[in-house]
Amino acid sequence: MKLKFKHLIVMVVMASIGSIIYGFNIKEENLSKANKYIGAGTAGLFLLAMPLFLYKESKGKNMKDYMLTKENIKKMQDKEGENAGNQ
């Protein structure tokens, strides 16, 4: 499943980039059609590829480790004190 999900993300990115490039290539001939291809490619990147990638990369990670809680702020302050003492 992991390999297939990675391939899906790569295919979405490649299709989106291809759509954007095609839109810029036909811009002089048909402006409205070119804008649709460019917009669809941009939407594909930001509304499909990016959320899929973020979901794939964040799977299995604890989100509490990345939030600013009192406990995590204290850990950061303790690490800063240790680093300042080593210099």
Q: In which region does residue 17 sit, left (phi positive, over 0), alpha (psi from -120 to 50) or beta (all else)?
A: alpha
pLDDT higher than threshold 90 for residue 85: no
Whether the predicted pLDDT of 1 surpasses 70: no
Residue of 82 and 28 predicted with greater confidence: 28
Angle at 34 between CA 28 and CA 39, to 5 degrees: 145
Amino acid at 22: Y
**Number of domains composing the chain:** 1
For 66, the domain range is: 2-86
Using one digit for the tens of pLDDT, what is the confidence trace for 8-56?
Answer: 999 999 999 999 999 999 999 999 999 999 999 999 999 999 999 998 9
pTM: 0.70
pLDDT at position 60 = 83
For residues 37 and 22, the answer to whether their CB atoms sit within 8 Å is yes
Q: Which long-range contacts (CB under 8 A, 24 or more apart) does 17-25 make?
A: 17/41, 17/45, 19/44
